[in-house]
Amino acid sequence: MKGPDDDPGLEGKVAIISGGGAVGDGIGNGRAAAVLLARAGTRVVVSDLDKKLAERTVEMIKAEGGTAVAEACDATREADCRRLVDAAVDHWGRLDFLDNNVGIGSRGSVVDEKPEEYRRVMQVNVETMFLLSKHAIPAMIKTAKGGAIVNISSISALRPRGLTTYTTSKAAVIGLTRAMAVDHGKDGIRVNCICPGPMYTPMVYARGMSDGARTQRARASVLKVEGTGWDIGYAVRFLMSAHARYITGQVLVVDGGVTLQGPERDSEGH
């Protein structure tokens, strides 16, 4: 006997993935989410500041028979966010999902951080989600009578370990998620947040990472394994699916149990 949610409700829907590119053929959180949603039949708008990176994600999706388009977007600019949402609706007549995946890191303390750098991190890590959601939500209501938004935070927001500006921004993402969930539940829009642990993604390994550092990161988890962008991608797909129809305003920690362990300061959780 089938339950009401055996259909994940992803086929034929339309998603925007911000920060959906990655260097080369690397699998970042956004690229993984885009590929996995496309495999489920969702049509995907992949956006990135560097359109070439988004185009590579689209190539991967099309190679598997999926449907996707690439768009350049500086999500710190409201005009770009508006244009990105319009592009999704223009392509396929609707918008159902938004994955707010844009983010940058920082390492300074309150004393060390320059005010302009603090403002930049807050702008990229928080304001981009505000701006994209501001334009995506009315489109979801108008074209799909609802939808789902996933915001990417970090375990740094739950267990601070320095990285003060980054930690502050990621904690703000959780607050933004919960407030949006309350505001737009009446519109049929679910809003949830994922807190990744130390994932092995291009954002991290592009700076260079030794085998020893990777081993240390794996040991930080109770599972003794290292996470990847695919782990976050699967979590995004679940939260956007009908299987998560009764979940909103929640924080899903995807860290292999790192936050159950002692302090770990090796790298950003995003």
Say if 129 falls within a structural domain.
Answer: yes
Domain that holds residue 94: 14-255
The percentage of residues in the chain with a pLDDT greater than 90, rounded to a whole number, is 82
Mean pLDDT across 79-88: 98
Handedness of CA 92, 47, 267, 164 (dihedral sign): negative
Say if 262 falls within a structural domain.
Answer: no
Say if 128 falls within a structural domain.
Answer: yes
- Whether 234 sits among the annotated catalytic residues: the reply is no
How many structural domains comprise the chain?
1
The percentage of residues in the chain with a pLDDT greater than 70, rounded to a whole number, is 93
Mean pLDDT across 41-68: 98
pLDDT at 61 over 80: yes
Q: Which of 118, 166, 234, 246 is catalytic?
A: 166
pTM score, whole prediction: 0.93
Residue-level pLDDT at 270: 44
Task: Tell which wins on pLDDT, 161 or 65.
Answer: 65
Q: What is the pLDDT of residues 192-203, one digit of tens each?
A: 999 999 888 877
Say if 6 falls within a structural domain.
Answer: no
Residue-level pLDDT at 220: 87
Say if 266 falls within a structural domain.
Answer: no
Say if 5 falls within a structural domain.
Answer: no
Q: Given pLDDT bands bounded at 50, 70 and 90, which one contains residue 263?
A: low
Q: What is the CATH number of the domain that holds 152?
A: 3.40.50.720
Q: What is the pLDDT of residues 210-250, one digit of tens each?
A: 777 788 888 889 999 999 999 999 999 999 999 999 999 99
pLDDT at 184 over 70: yes
Say if 140 falls within a structural domain.
Answer: yes
Q: What is the pLDDT of residues 134-171, one digit of tens each?
A: 999 999 999 999 999 999 999 999 999 889 999 999 99
Residue-level pLDDT at 127: 98
Residue-level pLDDT at 268: 44
Say if 72 falls within a structural domain.
Answer: yes
